[in-house]
């Protein structure tokens, strides 16, 4: 919804910058057209999570592998889980046409008499996962990266089993005698890997999507419809005042209180943004339980935390560290950054600092740090959750969500009664 973004887009943008050329993006209608565009010279390379196979290698020149994915069979929760392709002979099985998934199915088909599937030339992976979620089809195949992200949007989908082995992902370059672009990609990826930038990009795209809470995700999607509209105008007002994306502020508010203005923690923090009394006083907030005041205060506090992060740290790492400070305190974040550097990591990279934060709870580490002990795993979970909520909110406010949206839950009003309960942080 905010223009071109995503893992492959960032990689391609960096490659264009490395070459000193402009990046021209062509988005074809389906998967096979994309590969044909490279084969016939309309495009120089295809960057779309392409797995390297023998069949494709006969048509294209693949660059260095930068990711491994697992093809996976997906079904809907509540239906009988298939344990192998033998259990799927009676179901409605649809996959994307002209993909590695169809190649795998053809390889396995002789061992499973009666197995049939439909190859849809117009559907993409997200659409097929939505159709599984909606009960229109019984099974599809998706790569593990696609499934891990999409299950936050479609919480009814489930992993049945892995289809084959992990497979490398790489760019497909135009075949022919001129291999200069392919050769230019070799030092580019070498530098990305050796500098740690590739690991940073992978963490940015997929690092927060390793854990999944079905009940929490389902409730979040329901609360987007039932609770968020009551406070959305305040989040938007706070965004205009601070320059922070309102959906990020809303994600913080949901992590803090489940958008419950009367939320109270055992330590006495209150309101949608769960401000302490001292923080509220510092920010000039008179009533922490007032939704507008709480949201405005939380937004201003996040800006304060982000300003304390060294200017050399770029986005989005700057925001993730500010969020960690919001949760655990700036001093403990600094301790984690010092520990990161002492262990050979990059203290300006969230992926590296994230690994060291839990060490703040171990005596052999915290005893040597200025601020001492901290429950360092909490800011890691905190930031991961907010990133997941933020991803979903960006999707939920896009045109695509409107096309995919379903009927609101029958017990929509029941969520209002939950507001008097303590939030499940």
Q: Report the run of H or E that residue 221 belongs to, with start and end.
A: helix 214-226
CA dihedral (67, 71, 74, 80) in degrees, to 10, reads -130
The three state secondary structure string of 347-378 is CCCHHHHHHHHHHHHCHHHHCCCCCCCCCCHH
Neighbours of 30 (CB within 10 A): 17
Distance CA 50, CA 64 (A): 12
C-alpha R_g of the chain: 24
Which is the catalytic residue, given 256, 286, 315, 424? 256
Residue 256 falls in the annotated catalytic set: yes
Bridge partner residues of 72 (DSSP): 142, 162
Distance CA 169, CA 106 (A): 20
Peptide bond into 292 cis (omega under 30): no
Do the beta carbons of residue 319 and residue 340 sit within 8 Å? no
CA distance to 100, 159, 178, 250, 280, per residue, from 45 (Å): 18, 31, 13, 38, 53
Neighbours of 110 (CB within 10 A): 8
Phi then psi for residue 322, to 5 deg, are -65, -40
Task: Map residue 77 onto helix, strand or coil.
Answer: strand
Sequence-distant (6+) residues with CB within 8 A of 97 are 30, 31, 32, 119, 120, 121
Residues that are catalytic? 256
């Amino acid at each position: 919804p905010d223009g071109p973004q995503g893992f492959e887009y960032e990689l391609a943008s960096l490659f264009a910058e490395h070459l000193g050329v402009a990046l021209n993006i062509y988005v074809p209608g389906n998967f096979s057209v994309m590969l044909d565009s490279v084969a016939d010279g309309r495009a120089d390379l295809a960057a779309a999570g392409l797995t390297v196979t023998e069949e494709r290698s006969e048509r294209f020149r693949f660059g260095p592998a930068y990711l491994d994915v697992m093809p996976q069979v997906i079904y809907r929760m509540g239906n009988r889980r298939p344990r192998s392709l033998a259990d799927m002979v009676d179901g409605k099985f649809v996959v994307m046409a002209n993909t590695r998934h169809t190649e795998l199915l053809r390889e396995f088909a002789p061992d499973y008499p009666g197995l049939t599937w439909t190859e849809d030339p117009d559907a993409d992976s997200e659409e097929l996962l939505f159709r599984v979620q909606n009960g229109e089809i019984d099974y599809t195949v998706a790569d593990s990266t696609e499934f891990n992200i999409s299950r936050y949007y479609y919480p009814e989908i489930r992993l049945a089993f892995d289809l084959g082995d992990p497979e490398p992902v790489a760019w497909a370059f135009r075949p022919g005698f001129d291999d200069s672009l392919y050769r230019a990609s070799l030092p580019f990826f070498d530098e990305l890997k050796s500098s740690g930038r590739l690991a940073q990009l992978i963490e940015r795209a997929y690092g927060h999507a390793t854990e999944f809470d079905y009940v929490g995700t389902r409730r979040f999607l329901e609360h987007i419809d039932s609770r968020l509209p009551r406070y959305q105008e305040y989040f938007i007002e706070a965004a205009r005042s601070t320059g922070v994306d309102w959906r990020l502020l809303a994600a913080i508010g949901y992590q803090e209180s489940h958008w419950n203005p009367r939320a109270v923690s055992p330590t006495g923090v209150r309101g949608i943004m769960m401000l302490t009394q001292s923080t509220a006083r510092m920010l000039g907030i008179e009533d922490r339980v007032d939704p507008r005041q709480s949201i405005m205060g939380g937004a201003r506090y996040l800006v304060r935390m982000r300003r304390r992060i060294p200017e050399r740290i770029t986005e989005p790492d700057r925001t993730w560290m500010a969020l960690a400070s919001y949760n655990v305190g700036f001093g403990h974040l600094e301790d984690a950054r010092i520990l990161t550097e002492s262990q050979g990591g990059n203290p300006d990279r969230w992926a590296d600092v994230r690994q060291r934060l839990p060490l703040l709870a171990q005596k052999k580490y915290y005893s040597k740090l200025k601020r001492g002990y901290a429950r360092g795993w909490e800011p890691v979970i905190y930031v991961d959750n907010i990133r997941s909520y933020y991803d979903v909110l960006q999707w939920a406010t896009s045109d695509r969500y409107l096309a995919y949206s379903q009927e609101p839950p029958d017990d929509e009003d029941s969520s209002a009664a939950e507001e008097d309960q303590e939030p499940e942080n």
